[in-house]
Homo-oligomer: A and B are copies of this chain.
Amino acid sequence: MLKRHFIHKLDNYQSHTPEEINILEKALSEPRRFGKGKDVIKQGDKPEQVYLLLDGWACRYKISPQGKLQVLTYLIPGDFCNIHITLANQIDYSIGVLAPSTFASLSHERIYDIYDNHPRLARSLNWSALIDISILQEWLVNLGSRPADQRLAHLLCELLIRSRAAGLTDDHHFRLPVTQTHLGEAMGITYVHTNRVMQKLRQERLITFANKQLKIANWRRMKEYADFDPMYLHLERAVPELEKDL
């Protein structure tokens, strides 16, 4: 049977026994489908459960009082959408669905149970949360200090490595079912400019993009171009393997 994406992801940190996997599986609710454009969590909601993206594509985002939308991170299968089990009264972001997706959820009690009684699993979840923060930080660097072309290149490098880490692909292609508008909202630029920057990367023969499939045509040059160092993804154990044949 096929390994689920979240197991695939967590296995990059440490390998999990069938029993451990079973504990996680049993903690999950029935999967629930959400259509494109729906919100799983809305800014202002009370925190109630943690969502796990099983399949599809989503993002965490904020809308500022002025009405501009900013994507905070992309969520791919295997990602926990909102791990930092929030002690706050209100959540200050939304989880939006970018392509038809299925989610499972974990109640806070289940999570606390894991933290209390399954220290190895607890470490895996903590590791996953650590990566979330680390990605946020790298996105800050991306927005604050790279021009738009490198910014896009960097984002695409990240998404390829994360896709490989989740077992979503094993070559240079990955599924990227988002519009250029979405990409722009993640990078803090307009969709018009996103389009132009995308063309530039195509002309440089770094990427191709068709049918929602993105291919990084030359990984070595792309990495260099993007100034990409995967260290922040904390996949030490797996990166050599993940970059093999790229």
Which residues in A have some Cβ–Cβ distance to B below 8 Å?
Answer: 13, 62, 64-66, 68-70, 72, 84-90, 92-93, 123, 126-127, 129-130, 132-134, 136-141, 143-146, 185-188, 227, 229, 231-232, 234, 236
Contact residue among B84, B229, B236 (Cβ-Cβ distance under 8 Å from A129):
B84
Contact residue among B87, B136, B232 (Cβ-Cβ distance under 8 Å from A140):
B136
Copies in the complex: 2
Given A87-B127, A136-B133, A141–B62 Cβ distance below 8 Å? yes
Q: Chain B contacts of A186 at CB under 8 A?
A: 144
A133–B133 touching, CB < 8 Å: yes
Q: How far is the CB of A146 from chain B (nearest CB, A)?
A: 7
Q: Chain B contacts of A92 at CB under 8 A?
A: 134, 137-138, 231-232, 234
Q: How far is the CB of A199 from chain B (nearest CB, A)?
A: 22
A140–B72 touching, CB < 8 Å: yes
